[in-house]
Amino acid sequence: MHSSKTREFYEKYIACLNSRKLENLGLYVNEVLTYNKKSISLKDYQALLEQNIKDIPDLYFQVDLLVADDDTIASRLNFNCTPEGEFMGILVNGRKVTFSEHVFYKLVNNKISEVWSLIDKEAIRDQIK
């Protein structure tokens, strides 16, 4: 895809997550993908996202920075949300937290095939001290 198409693809993927239409995830993600170097299935990925939404009912993916070329996407996502209990091993317990994720995606056949994600857990920990 041309880089402008890749951006458009990513914006649709994020809109899919934000509208909770996870049944459409297969439009954007391959049947098998690598997530932080671990091989998972589309179903696993969907289950992971469903769990995130269950843990954080007001989860909203806000794209702060987006860079794309033909087959690679880098995104800085901002979150301003209220995890109900534990999130990533941190007991947030219904407090509002703000944090970022820096995430890279590699596309194969115009769908997400690899994800490398780093979440600023330190920021979360600092806010609930």
Binding mask 71-100 for its own copies (x = CB under 8 A): -xxx-x-----------------------x
Dump the DSSP string for 8-74.
HHHHHHHHHHHTT-GGGGGGTEEEEEEETTEEEEHHHHHHHHHHHHHH-TT---EEEEEEE-SSEEE
Closest approach, Cβ 29 to its own copies, in A, equals 18
Q: Work out whether 102 is an interface residue with its own copies (CB under 8 A).
A: yes
- Of 12-20, 23-31, 53-61, 66-74, the segment contacting its own copies by CB under 8 A is 66-74
- What amino acid is encoded at 123 in this protein? A
Contact positions toward its own copies, by CB under 8 A?
3, 65, 67-69, 72-74, 76, 100, 102-104, 106, 116, 118-122
